Structure 1
Amino acid sequence: MQPWVQRLGTLLLSVALLLSPLFPAPQGSQLQVYMEPLSTAHVGSGALLQCRFSVGGPVVLDSLQVMWYFWEQKVSWYEQGRSHAQPGASLPSEKVLESGDASLSLATVTLSDGGVYRCVVEYGAQKNQGETTLRLLAAPKIYIPRQPAVADTETSLLCHVGGFFPEDVDVTWLKDKKAQEGYTRSSPQRNPDGTFNLTLTYTFTPALSDADSVFSCRVRHAALGQPLQEDVFLDIRAPDQTGTVVGAVLGTLLGAGAAAAAAIYFWRNRRKGWAVSYNVAEVQGPERCLLGQEVTLRCFMEGMFPEDVDVTWARIHSEDRTVPESAGDPESPRDPESPEHQPLLPALPPGWRVTEERAGTRLTSSLTFTPTLQDDGVRVRCVFLHEAKRIREERVSLEIRVWARPQVSEIQVLPEWDPRDKVPFAVQLHNFYPREVPPIQWGWDGAGSWREDPAQIDKNTDGTFTATSVWRVPSRSLTRPELRVRVCVQHGPGEPASERELSLRAAGLLRPPDVSDIFRPESVTTGKEVILSCRIAGHFLGELSVTWLRRGKGEDTAVILRDSAECRVEPGTAVLARDGKSFQQETRLILLSPEYLAEKFISKFKEKGAEYICRVGHLALETPIERSTACRPRPPHLGEVSHPQALVPGQPETLRCLISGFYPGQLAVTWLRKGAGEKAPRPLESSDPHRMHTPAPSPAPDGKSYSVESELRLPPAGPEDDGVEYLCRVQHEALKEPESRSSGRLRVQAREHSPEPRTAEEGGGS
């Protein structure tokens, strides 16, 4: 966006705010929101997204709510007199909000922050909103490799332009301020941070006079106020004829200077008995060798040389004696048969093989091997030797750099959260080499990109390394179950990156809430507020919805309660639990009825007429959880029937059964007896010698259930009681059918001998 357009937009916005009191909005729509449709910021700097509003009069903060969204993610908000914001975002102070300014400030923006932002303003029962698109710019940078050029030899100038956004860019090569032709432009390549790179290559044949010229690479881009330009002077050298040009005696007319140089070269070598033109290339191969993957190095010799040239390869370490790459000074001829000029070439390791290929005047020798970690840092030497013609040329490669691509694990959530308010996402890089860790970029759903270096790197027994990268995300930033955390591991130039992603749902982070029963006041004083509360705990993610409802006596539909003169709803604020892995909060419904409404409320409460409902929704729930002040029927729970291990002949026993958790408190308890050999149990009657006792049920502490313990007193056991079974049967309105609990078959203990009859004084009386 041009600066004058921005100034005009700001001016129009200010005029609109000044004129808004003169032209009031229709009744019921006095809230107006004003925003610029487009905002611009530079990557790495701050951004201010303007949002101005008018309410047709002074702003009362108690009635104001402001919410900023980036796409559908809440970024910052103001409600109930408090400001909240995600890291890096902020709203103005309350004094500024009172002036009608709810602009959003972003501290440091990246490309992932670009997109549509929405400002939603609520004032009392009114609501309005506006949108702006944040357009981000990243200025390009220029890098020109400096290298000498050879006169009359085709050369290329490279201009690397990187780190720019958006993709549109204009790049030109200049010579003495004049645009040149004949350059090629690569396709823009995207970087991990979203910016772009490209290379502009200018290929031409320089002359010695071009050393006085200024070559320039000029870049025009939307992020630049003026074109960016870098100048370079060429270091142009005269052609080097040594080893490549024959003298004038060979009949080649190369001009006076070149012919003289060639003649001197031929004269110095005439006593060696040969005069040939040849060229030996440097050892060619990849800059990096992948561990365990076969690689080939090549070296060639071409020109007018005899066919019987021998090629030898050797593997050398940096501490080994290195032979000069050239044959030496022609003024000081050497004897290749002398020992000092015949270095011992160590044998190639097993598995290394050499192949040769002759095509016309070119001899190409190739060395193929599978690199190991022991090959990292070594060099190889290629020697071309013809003893009869006293030709010896050797080339030493650059150091071999071995690398191993890391094996990237899936993303996982670590069990220990430190700090507790941040979720630790981790990925492991196994078996990589060398120790330098490749760049690791973390982010989520395109909303950010942060580099996280591993805190610890371990060396494996085979010499490779393993590292763990941990990205800690604030728990409150995770607001959607389908939000996907992503990690990208860059392996190096030209290598495909490894990417992993994990959704919050797949990570097992989602946990539904536990909702307590509604706490009701034991007594209500006329003319004072009535508070109903409900505790919610154990949920993750932290955001949930809380709704309070009221259902009148005889009504089928519950009505949603909102803040009014009769009640106030406090949803509560989610608080992180001690372990950081869940949230908890308490929601309250405060009834602010006048005295007569309070009396009406009390009477309905006693009549069980008015019912208040707390409804809780969460992303981990398919249907919301509801808790009610009404005591609905609850079925009883029957405990085990307590009984002795064996009945003692002649002694009475008592069986007990605990019945709990039922509502209302009315239920019927019946005991049944099934003797050995009987097909079905029969209910015990009052005429039986058994005695049944079931006291009145007792209310539980929460006032919403009852419990009772029923007893059955058995008469003294006799032989006919061996194998008998007793059942406790319960009937309740919450049960479709009666439920029973059995004592199991009871055994009568066998007597070893008949005891002596006891007198009354000895305790034998009945």
Structure 2
Amino acid sequence: MTPRISDNKYSFTKAQWSIRRSQRICTKSIWGSEAAINPLLKFSSRAALSLLITVLATIVFAFSFYCHFFPDLSVKHRVAVGVASFLTVFLAAGAIFLVYHHRHKKRNIPRVREITRCGDGTFSLDVDRFAPKDISFSWHLIQPPSSTEKQQLESTLIMSENQDGTFNATSTCDNLRGKVNVTQPYTIQAAVTHRKLKQPVCNEWTSDPQDGYKLRPIVTRPLQLSLCDPGEVLCSLNLESFYPKHIDISWSCDTGQSQKNISSQEKYQENPDQSYNAESACKIPGDSLNDPEFKVIVRWKHETMEDWESRELRVRDPGFPWRPNITDMSPLIVQSNQQTMVKCTVSGYFPDVLTVMWFMKNARQETIPVSNGSKYEILEISQEKMSDNTYTCTSTLCFTPTSNSEEQEFICRVSHPSLEEPIERSTGPARTKVSPTVTEPIKFSLCESGDVLCSLYVSKFYPQNINITWTSGRDQINKIKAVEKFIQIRDEKTYDAISECRIKWDQSLFPLRVTWKHESMEKPEYKELEITACAPRVGDIIVPGQLQCNQLAILQCEISAFYLDNLTVTWSKIQKGKEEETIDSQSKEKYYIPDLAYKKQDNTYNCTARLVFIPSYDLDLGAVFICKVQHPNLEPQIERRTKPLQLDQAPGKPGDTGKNPQGINDSPPHVDDIIVPRQLQCNQSYTLQCQISGFYPDNLTVTWLKHHKGEEETIQLQSNERYQIPALQHVKQWWTHTYRCTASLVSIPSYESDDGAEFICRVEHPSLKGAIEKRTGPLNVKVPMVRERSPQPVGGFQAAGAGGGGAGGLESVALEVPGSSGGPRVATGNGNGGDVGSFMSFLQGLLRLGRFHQGV
């Protein structure tokens, strides 16, 4: 049936209206508000491609439909439909392009997460799905959070790659232990820098103002056991670096059938970072360890922990310290119709519940238990308690072999509660000869006469006849007379021997060789002693912890354990950008090299090589100093080097050599701890001293204060009948143009007023923002037990540590200029009384050093 024209017109009008309506909706959805675009932006590129194909298919289908069912449409109308379709496709393609472009622009941009705090006090920051790989993190600590100063933190970085080629990164900053004041709030700041970020992304984490920095307890060592004299076992655990102080600790023991709590004691220690360490200990009966199932358990809980943590130790755990060890076993020496004894020594065990069993192997390799009877006798074991409260015992088996005896080998088997399986040791096959054993090198010692005594220890050989010879030189043709001493332990057949020879020291005698030959050996054996055995040991160069321009510095190198005191030490220097240059104290007065002072200890020598100089910023910054040691027993020489020197530019300006004292800036004082006499007794005068140095100008103010026991306020002391405060005597240090002085307080203590009191030395100077205070700590005043002593003269005291030579046995050197003399005065001390010759040489060198600087 042919449709009517009116129907066609109506149908066309309706179709045209539908197409235009679709165009308006599409245009509005694309160019409209951001709220309409955002849902499209969430499509992935794959979804956008599917949408484009669907739209194109729909338009083609619609156009074909109209052309097929409305063939009478005019060309004009068909063009309109085509244009509408083209516009629709163009707009859809534009929308999809915008979606894809937006997603591509945001692709691989680092996603920075929030800072997270881990349970152990560290902080971490995660960044996900970024490319390229290059990324950097920076961490800072800000305390308090309102502060403008930032402390940089070290961090570690872990990266992983995803399947799509992007990367993930986790940056963890170091633990803040020791870097943060635990009583104050703080802020952790982390910044992430990446090429696709317009600017670094900075995240922050701020602590709770009430909590501060909480630290989780750290267990650095396993549960410890130690033996007490009454046979008890002390169990202890150390918990370190936690905050706040309160922590719950409980101990219990478990026998497998019941569990019982044990009382314990805790000791707390405050660390420099205001965190705490705790040592918790309890005692258990020693016989409780007889049960292999027994275990001791310790639990602890801190507010930084979600749940209790624990450690436990059983007798058979790997950490148990007192398992038995078979330390010695006699060889089986068989001679027909002669009694043979075999001994097994067991040591280092606790508790003293030990079982020893013997077994015999015959020619058929059958293992047969041995028990007391007519043929074998097992002596009763006697256990001996050692100084460390462990036990040692020896089990002895005796028998008399006959011509047809089958004893080929004996085995000693030991059982103990701490052992999962018994341990055992064999005598080895039966034999009539035993080869000597030499496990130690040749020993030598220096005699007072200057001779060298050399010895060799040879053990466990049989029979007694042994030939030991000493020879010397490269060709080993010169024989040296020696003496042998034979040792035989009671009831044992084997022998030990010590062979000794005495020689005059002569390099031509080396290498020294000792050779031993025994009838049980196929060929002789020997050991040699090289001359390098007497060569010096040279330590690293000790550099002061803080080197400052224009202040005296001493480099020291310890040389020890050498024989023959003909040592040669030379110093050299490699200045930055220059070649090595030997330092000669005779021609260059900038440096002084003291003469070597040899000290004899255990018949060997030791000494300290020193280089004294005043660092200069221009000449010594970055320089490397070298100490070279030569000795007849050394080939080649030994060399030690410093790292490039780092210099502080105080108190003078960089490059200031001391020519212009008026150019020195204000320099703050360095205040040492107060020196307190070792013993304070009632009615005996004592002096408190505080050394102050390195300050400029010399307008220094020192105030002495006293804080009575149990009182809150402190009182300022004035010179009166009880206290004397000598006036300060400022001494100018010519090499730095700064001053030094000693603040003193002289008093005669009484038990009622001074026991437990604390004295304070307060130092004020124009270069300081606030005063520096040093405290003595509570004093301990003793009351004489026999009679009262009359007061001693003022100033009689002994400084704590005087005469000890300082840490490491190094000499101390102090230079100062008295007011009545133009040259420097030197005081040296080494804790051993010093050496007059070395002292005078040192004095002469420093006088030359003083004349050099005065001439400048």
TM over 0.5: no
Which structure is higher in helix share?
2
TM-score, normalised relative to structure 2: 0.28
